[in-house]
Amino acid sequence: MKSNVTMKDIAKKLNVSSVTISKALNDKEGVSDELKEKIKDLADKMGYRYNTLAKSMKDGKSYNVCVIIPERYTGMTQSFYLKIYQSIAQILEEKGYYGIIHILPSDDEDNLKLPRIYHERRVDGFILLGQPKREYIELMQSIDMPLVFLDFYDENNNVDAVITDNFYGAYELTNYLIRQGHREIGYIGNLFSTSSIQDRFLGYYKSLLEHNIHLNQDYIISDRDERGVFIEFDLPKQLPSAFVCNCDQVAHLLIEKVRKSGYEVPKDCSVVGFDNDIYATLTTPNLTTVEVHIEEMAKNAVKFICEKMDDASATFGRVAVKGKIIYRDSVQKIK
Amino acid sequence: MKSNVTMKDIAKKLNVSSVTISKALNDKEGVSDELKEKIKDLADKMGYRYNTLAKSMKDGKSYNVCVIIPERYTGMTQSFYLKIYQSIAQILEEKGYYGIIHILPSDDEDNLKLPRIYHERRVDGFILLGQPKREYIELMQSIDMPLVFLDFYDENNNVDAVITDNFYGAYELTNYLIRQGHREIGYIGNLFSTSSIQDRFLGYYKSLLEHNIHLNQDYIISDRDERGVFIEFDLPKQLPSAFVCNCDQVAHLLIEKVRKSGYEVPKDCSVVGFDNDIYATLTTPNLTTVEVHIEEMAKNAVKFICEKMDDASATFGRVAVKGKIIYRDSVQKIK
DNA sequence: CTGAAAGCGCTTACAG
DNA sequence: CTGAAAGCGCTTACAG
């Protein structure tokens, strides 16, 4: 099992050149099938392991794609980031690349420090998973490497981004509430915190507009500050019959609050969330929410980054991947 | 910003050899300070990035350490794995290594398939984070690469493992309950599922023994099957005054169950958890539990793997890192 | 079908 | 203090 076996070692035993070994092991033209077989067998027997570092150097490619996740997201939506990373890594592997997670420390984000992997040329492209601050985005764009945004976008329109269709998801969810007879519908979320929250709000708003429902400002409630930290909020004096929450976690908090005020969910007040994360089934009642299509998002992100690594001029723009409404018990039909 | 600048390019501009560039950039002996400065400046100006792949090849080392996490853990204890990975990666970086996560698909675990990174010689050592099945452990041991177990161990005693001090943590927690006046104390957990659960049970048991409290088998309740999937369980006919749970998540489930039976926590029944994960503060009342010392565990694991990469014969055995009891509101003093 | 030569970007060991 | 030579393990382009 000792494994410093090289192609040369195999070549020597077979009295051929290492070029022939290379060809055989890579299933290239120019080696007789017989010899090819023999080489492969012997390679197995000798415990040969292909040294991709050598190939990397020859090609001038690392075959690594770095997935950058700003630190502050790693506590939050829990398994989402790990799950989507898993998907990404798996698809990358099929294409011969490695995925490498880099959790971006908040300090490095503030000091505009790029990951070491960049400075050491061990990466061919970046997937930015989760929105860092603007200056960091600009930095990432300035280094002129293949780059794809995942799960957020920037108003800057020369970037490629894969996002959940937040707008459409919230729109559909609100339509559903209205079909269930609701007319007084609130929205929970800081509209200026992230593009996701803003777009979800706009989807909600579009649904109201289409149904001729007035947008009541008292029903729009901020849940976090602009850095994304949750803040205390009050319920409106008069409770609407339903709330659209920008995420499941805040739906969870809202339901606790509503309950403490002496109301029941969904009897007195319906609630819908977004994300279908752990909070969706942790909350009583379980939340009606939107499930993000993780695999589809990963697949797109990988496709984009791979094509950009092959052809630096490739562009894709913004792609929104549709989610799926999961109906559970947090909405009550009213008349 | 174009970056195919090599040492040779810098050398040419300065009319020196690339050996000199290498020495200067690596702060080695044998270059005048003057020239060193000049080289560094020019390197910066030209946007030079060190190519570590070349060094890797020269050294015959990848400078990568792969952290393997069995897939089934990635859904579970949520942020724990990502957090400890973050710690690991950071400490590895200080030592000049890269951390690479490999989420081990259950299929690969069953089929005893090693990660591609191994076959392609892109890794110098493995940290196994979370317990895979025995055959996979044996496979990992057979390939003769530096290997450290993290957060679990195996009865096999020739392995190096870093774990939380489950035994001591549960022991202390139970002592605390007894100090609060409890004598009837149950334990929730399948004793045959993982070494952690078993050790926590034994710590609990030791505390009972030391206080001359009889172990009542009716109070030992299994919470999951042997593959770790949660199962339904019933409360004992007569409720003890307190429960030690093998983890916060099951403490959460237990409290719901107790409440549904018409009892209050902690008034009628005290509960303690383990892990201090998201469930600890999600549950009402917030849980008294043990916080795992993530950084200390990461630090040890990295220290071990690095020393083993330097010296294959180094061994460390099993190291248990003490956790810390977090006192919250789920325990009531009784007399 | 097979292989000698050159090169990927760096470093080490040696000579000057 | 400085550099020519050789080598890490592979592949490409070319010649036979």
Three-class DSSP labels, A272-285: ECCECCHHHHHCCC
Residues forming beta bridges with residue A129, ordered by sequence position = A150
Nearest Cα residue in chain B from A47? B119
Residues of A with CB below 8 A from B51's CB? 57, 120-121
Residues of B with CB below 8 A from A49's CB? 118-121
Q: Chain A interface, mutation test: which of B84, B122, B140, B147, most A Cβ atoms within 10 Å?
A: B122
What pLDDT is stored for residue A31 in this prediction? 85
- Nucleotides in chain C near protein beta carbons (<7 Å): 1-5, 7-13
What pLDDT is stored for residue A1 in this prediction? 36
Question: CA dist A3 to A7, A9, A11, A200, B124, Å?
Answer: 12, 11, 16, 54, 12
Domain count along chain B = 3
Query: Is A137 a member of any domain?
Result: yes
| Top mean-pLDDT range of A130-134, A227-231, B137-141, B158-162 | B137-141
Angle formed at CA A63 by CA A57 and CA A64, multiple of 5 degrees: 120
pLDDT in tens, A295-314: 999 999 999 999 999 998 99
Evaluate if residue B75 carries a pLDDT over 70. no
Query: Is B133 a member of any domain?
Result: yes
What pLDDT is stored for residue B287 in this prediction? 97
The rounded distance, in Å, linking the Cα atoms of B252 and B201 is 18
Structure-model confidence comparison of residues B15 and A246, the more confident one: A246
Same domain, yes or no: B172 and B148: no
Residues of B with CB below 8 A from A85's CB? 101, 103
Q: What is the mean pLDDT of residues B77-85?
A: 80
Same domain, yes or no: A287 and A175: yes
Same domain, yes or no: B159 and B184: no
Query: Is A330 a member of any domain?
Result: no
Evaluate if residue A81 carries a pLDDT over 70. yes
Evaluate if residue B17 carries a pLDDT over 50. yes
Evaluate if residue A77 carries a pLDDT over 60. no
φ/ψ of B208, rounded to 5, equals -60, -50
Same domain, yes or no: A97 and A245: no
The answer to whether A312 contacts chain B (CB < 8 Å) is: no
Same domain, yes or no: A102 and A210: no
The rounded distance, in Å, linking the Cα atoms of B26 and B28 is 5
What pLDDT is stored for residue B3 in this prediction? 57
What pLDDT is stored for residue A78 in this prediction? 62
Evaluate if residue A176 carries a pLDDT over 60. yes
Same domain, yes or no: B27 and B112: no
- Contact call for B81 and A82, based on CB within 8 A: yes
Protein CA at B33 to nucleotide C1' at C14, angstroms:
23
Same domain, yes or no: A143 and A155: yes
Evaluate if residue A16 carries a pLDDT over 50. yes
- Residue A293: CB atoms within 10 A of its CB come to 16
The answer to whether A6 contacts chain B (CB < 8 Å) is: no
Q: What is the mean pLDDT of residues B126-135?
A: 93
Specify the DSSP class assigned to residue B221.
Answer: E
**pLDDT band at A72; cut points 50, 70, 90:** confident
Residues of A with CB below 8 A from B62's CB? 53
**Within window 64-83 on A, which residues have Cβ closer than 7 Å to strand D?**
none
Same domain, yes or no: B186 and B278: yes
Structure-model confidence comparison of residues A117 and A228, the more confident one: A117
- Residue A58 Cβ under 7 A from any strand D atom: yes
Query: Is B213 a member of any domain?
Result: yes
What angle separates helix B52-59 from helix A52-59, to the nearest 10 degrees? 140
What pLDDT is stored for residue B241 in this prediction? 96
- Residue B27 Cβ under 7 A from any strand D atom: no
Secondary-structure percent of chain A, ordered helix, strand, coil, rounded to 5: 45, 15, 40
Same domain, yes or no: A139 and A21: no
- Residue B57 Cβ under 7 A from any strand D atom: yes
Contact B272, B289 (CB under 8 A): yes
Same domain, yes or no: B184 and B153: no
The answer to whether A286 contacts chain B (CB < 8 Å) is: no
Q: What percent of chain A has pLDDT over 90?
A: 75
Characterize A12-41 residue by residue with b for buried, 16 or more Cβ atoms within 10 angstroms of its Cβ, and e for exposed.
eeeebeeebbbbbbeeeeebeeeebebbbe
The rounded distance, in Å, linking the Cα atoms of B321 and B169 is 10
**pLDDT band at A317; cut points 50, 70, 90:** very high
pLDDT in tens, B255-269: 999 999 999 999 999
Give me the domain span that covers residue A45: 7-50
Q: Chain A interface, mutation test: which of B72, B120, B252, most A Cβ atoms within 10 Å?
A: B120
List the CATH number of the domain containing B229: 3.40.50.2300
Query: Is A1 a member of any domain?
Result: no
Q: Which of the residue ranges A80-89, A240-249, B108-117, B215-224 would you say has the lowest mean pLDDT? A: A80-89
Query: What type of residue is A94?
Result: E
Nearest Cα residue in chain A from B71? A86
Evaluate if residue A74 carries a pLDDT over 80. no
Query: What type of residue is B297?
Result: M
Q: What is the mean pLDDT of residues B212-221?
A: 96
Query: Is A55 a member of any domain?
Result: no
Beta strand A289-291 with A324-326: parallel, antiparallel or unpaired?
antiparallel
Same domain, yes or no: B281 and B206: yes
What pLDDT is stored for residue B2 in this prediction? 44
Same domain, yes or no: A172 and A155: no
Query: What type of residue is A195?
Result: S
Query: Is B327 a member of any domain?
Result: no
Q: What percent of chain A has pLDDT over 70?
A: 98
The rounded distance, in Å, linking the Cα atoms of B138 and B118 is 16
Instruction: Tell me the pLDDT of chain A averaged across its residues.
Output: 92
- Residue B19 Cβ under 7 A from any strand D atom: yes
Contact B318, B107 (CB under 8 A): no
The rounded distance, in Å, linking the Cα atoms of B205 and B208 is 5
List the CATH number of the domain containing B34: 1.10.260
- Contact call for B53 and A90, based on CB within 8 A: no
What pLDDT is stored for residue A2 in this prediction? 44
Q: What is the mean pLDDT of residues B17-27?
A: 90
Evaluate if residue B135 carries a pLDDT over 90. yes
Closest CA to B305 of B161, B154, B195: B161
Protein CA at B242 to nucleotide C1' at D9, angstroms:
63
pLDDT in tens, A141-163: 999 899 999 999 887 768 899 99
First to last CA, chain B: 73
Query: Is B121 a member of any domain?
Result: yes
- Residue B25 Cβ under 7 A from any strand D atom: no
Q: What is the mean pLDDT of residues B195-214?
A: 95
Closest-CA distance of chain A to residue B4, Å: 9
- Residue B142 Cβ under 7 A from any strand D atom: no
